[in-house]
Amino acid sequence: MDQSTEAPPASLAALVPGTVTLVGGGPGDPGLLTVAGLRALEQADVVLVDHLAPQESLAHCRPDCEQIWVGKLPRGEFVPQERINELLVEHARAGRRVVRFKGGDNFVFGRGGEEWQACAQAGIAVRVIPGVTSSVAAPALAGIPVTHRSLVQGFTVVSGHVPPGDERSQLDWSALARTRTTLVVLMGVKYLPEITRELRAAGMAADTPVAVIAQAGHPQMRQVRGPLDQIAELAQDVRPPAVTVIGEVAGLQLG
Ligand code: SAH
């Protein structure tokens, strides 16, 4: 087939005025933003930026591009999600090319689905440019493959933002302890003691390897490794953002 007659991939096409593009920024290093994501930033009239998105990449925006900070505010508060949704709709209605720029991938604990729904309800067209999610990239940057042929045939990504047993938790931690997949926990720094205790109680071996990888893709990146029954103590001074990898792959030394 004559390739010139093929439409370009949707993610690389020009941004359309009056629409919203959800752009995944990757885990932090500007080099891990996709080419399509970079092109979207270059074209944007307005960008709503999250605190985990790679800030350096904003240098690619046009000088007249309006940048709206909707990440953590100085007092630790966040712009409420409803307000973010309103801003996306308002700017798109004004005919602008709107980019929602987040860390990692917008559809992995990034509220991208909610933002899409809010725009759709307002009659605004949305599309998504996938990002490199920290759930895979943070382990990778630490030299940990989330799957490894001889060891594990899958990985499971969960949120640890509420502790096991909490009424807001939808997870079955004892089932997670038995999946025989690599367990990747995001937002799990605060409740690492509770999570590891729960997995132990569900029968996961005390010596199961665990790695906690913080600030992946940033110059301050660090990792702490240890067995399941000691990792909470070993990693007690680790601050978010961090990804926790639980399973045999966390004990691998590839080289
Ligand atoms: N959409 C993001 C995840 C947002 S939830 C993604 O796909 O990566 C926020 C959590 O992501 C953090 O609490 C942490 O667990 C993880 N995270 C994001 N950036 C990270 C980084 N640079 N290093 C380690 N963990 C990171």
Tens-place pLDDT, residues 58-115: 999 999 999 999 987 767 778 899 999 999 999 999 999 999 999 999 999 999 999 9
Residue 37 has pLDDT above 60, yes or no: yes
Q: Which residue's CA is the closest to the ligand 1 atom numbered 15?
A: 186
Structural domain boundaries of the chain?
Answer: 14-132, 135-251
Find out whether 113 and 107 touch, Cβ atoms under 8 Å. yes
* Ligand 1 pocket at CB < 6 A: 27-28, 52, 102-105, 108-110, 133-135, 138, 186-187, 213-218, 240-243
Residue 6 has pLDDT above 90, yes or no: no
201/205 Cα distance (integer angstroms): 9
179/173 Cα distance (integer angstroms): 10
| pLDDT for 3 | 53
Residue of 2, 45, 64, 72 marked catalytic: 72
Residue 197 has pLDDT above 80, yes or no: yes
pLDDT tens, residue by residue, 127-176: 999 999 999 999 999 999 999 999 999 999 999 999 999 999 999 999 99
For a mutational test of ligand 1's pocket, the pick from 33, 159, 186, 244, i.e. the residue with the most ligand atoms closer than 8 A to its C-beta, is: 186
| pLDDT for 255 | 87
Homologous superfamily of 14-132: Tetrapyrrole methylase, N-terminal domain (3.40.1010.10)
Q: Which residue's CA is the closest to the ligand 1 atom numbered 9?
A: 187
Q: Which residue's CA is the closest to the ligand 1 atom numbered 6?
A: 104
Residue 203 has pLDDT above 90, yes or no: yes
Tell me how far CA of residue 158 lies from CA of 39, 50, 107, 164, 172, in angstroms: 31, 21, 13, 12, 11
Element at 60 (helix H, strand E): none
- Catalytic status, residue 50: yes
Is 135-251 in CATH node 3.30.950.10? Answer: yes
| pLDDT for 193 | 98
Strands (E), the chain: 19-24, 46-49, 66-69, 97-102, 126-129, 155-159, 182-186, 209-214, 222-227, 242-246
Residue 4 has pLDDT above 70, yes or no: no
Residue 11 has pLDDT above 70, yes or no: no
193/214 Cα distance (integer angstroms): 17
| Dist. CA 40 → ligand 1 center (Å) | 22
Q: Summarize the confidence of residues 196-225 as an average pLDDT.
A: 97
Residue 212 has pLDDT above 90, yes or no: yes
> Which atom number of ligand 1 is nearest to the Cα of residue 102?
1
In angstroms, the first-to-last Cα distance of the chain is 44
Residue of 29, 45, 50, 105 marked catalytic: 50
- Catalytic status, residue 72: yes
| pLDDT for 140 | 98
